[in-house]
Chain A
Amino acid sequence: MKITTPLTNKVIESLHAGDKVLITGTIYTARDAAHLRLVNLIKENKPLPFDIKNQIIYYVGPTPAKPGHVIGSCGPTTSYRMDPYTPILIKHGLKGMIGKGDRNDEVKKAIKEHKAVYFGAIGGAAALIAKSIKKVELIAYEDLGAEAIRKLEVIDFPAVVVNDIYGNDLMIDNIKKFKVEV
């Protein structure tokens, strides 16, 4: 299924756990250190370096771009480290997250309540994913190096819906299917 950003409620309502998607449009990178700063700004009622409303955050810290490349290798990092920050971002309008690994109950609850979606990308498929990224702009926290916030223009970024607004969870439901009881 092809989807574009910014994410509308209509698109989010059409997504179900297990759906394979190709994302086109703008997405923003942020991981641990940038999340801490974003959430602190929200707590202090200060403006964020970009408007998170209806946007997707990709949990990634890319390698440096080689000459002639727009970006280095850039696969997802493990999402649970962002769990403490995600519900507050969703509450303030964030609609999508891309990462790897399962999320905690607070994140899943926020996804249901505020209509958001968690996508899983393939950890370690960093050279392959880099091919879907066409443009990169550093927009905040340059001092964080690989952890800075970057605006990415992507075409057909490959991901899978893990948590949808209906409470389905690929990482529970599909694991159950293949679990052998001993």
Chain B
Amino acid sequence: MRYIKRDVIVETVERLCIEASYNIGDEMMKALQSSKVKEKSSVGKEVLTQIIENDLIAQHDSVPMCQDTGIVVVFIEIGNQVSIDFDLYDAINEGVKNGYENGYLRKSVVKHPFNRVNTNDNTPAIIHTKIVKGNQLKILVAPKGGGSENMSLVKMLTPAEGYDGVKKLVIDTITNAKGKPCPPIIVGVGVGGNLEKAALIAKEALMRPINDSSDDELAKKLEDELLEEINQSGIGPMGFGGTQTALAVKVNLYPCHIASLPVAINIQCHAARHKKAII
């Protein structure tokens, strides 16, 4: 067994929250630059130029690229040979609290969905844990803005609606959202599982590298067709009209019940922030 100290978790989560908010990363920067080259609308090109400039300023000045520094989503993979003798969730939340205070990040979490009083430290995080083989602990921190999350949905389709039904649902969702989720967006689609599994795999889809494709033949076909059709919608950067509405579409699949075809669509804005660490 390998023992991991609480302080290491707290400090790592703090660091990842700040790094994710300040630095978009090379992969996303390249995707935005390539999108700018492809954009056919002049206002769209101008928007992409300013987004790229903004992300460079954020990195250079060590300030958040977006004022919506999000609610923190944390994916943890715990090796079965890792030993921890503390409350992991509590340690993660302490890291979030420190990161949002020390990084001058916005506290965007309310304690009660109806009373809506701010928790003032951006906790609690939304934490997903998975137990895997090995003696390492992997932490992925993904601050998620409200604007793009608000345009996301889960719907239970019928098996008869099939591939085309899923495709139509995604296109309709993006078309209705127009400029609200800050395009160019990344679209995470979870197909299968049940209500909560579909949502989780859609979120996980957003964590995939921006340039990869699904290993599944039909999922890859769906990713390619959706990206092409979304970019034919005319919505463009910030919904000002153009050809670059989405940077990527990621489809994740999971087995499901004979009666069901659950679909979740999770939209990610162009400030796609995630940072990981292996302890």
Q: Could you list which residues of chain A lie within 8 angstroms of chain B, going by C-beta atoms? A: 18, 20, 33, 60-66, 69, 72-75, 77-78, 80, 100-102, 120, 122-131, 145-146, 158, 160, 162, 170-171, 173-180, 182
Note all chain A residues with C-beta closer than 8 A to B63: 63, 66, 69, 72-73, 127, 130
A128 in contact with B147 (CB, 8 Å): no
Q: How many residues of B contact A (CB 8 A)?
A: 52
Smallest CB gap from B118: residue in A: A145
Smallest CB gap from A18: residue in B: B43
B105 in contact with A124 (CB, 8 Å): no
Smallest CB gap from B178: residue in A: A102
CA distance A182 to B57 in the complex (A): 39
- B9-17, B195-203, B229-237: which one contacts chain A? B229-237
Smallest CB gap from B55: residue in A: A127
**A78 and B180 in contact, given A63-B69, A178-B234 (Cβ under 8 angstroms):** yes
Smallest CB gap from A146: residue in B: B106
Note all chain B residues with C-beta closer than 8 A to A61: 67-68, 106, 108
**A64 and B104 in contact, given A175-B178, A182-B232 (Cβ under 8 angstroms):** yes
Contact of B147 among A65, A100, A125 (CB under 8 A): A100
Contact of A124 among B54, B107, B146, B242 (CB under 8 A): B54
Q: Is the interface of B mostly helix, strand, loop or mixed?
A: loop
Smallest CB gap from B177: residue in A: A101
A127 in contact with B57 (CB, 8 Å): yes
CA distance A125 to B55 in the complex (A): 8
Note all chain A residues with C-beta closer than 8 A to B54: 122, 124-129
Q: Point out which of A60, A173, A174 has the most chain B C-beta atoms below 10 A from its C-beta.
A: A174
Note all chain B residues with C-beta closer than 8 A to A122: 47, 50-51, 54, 238
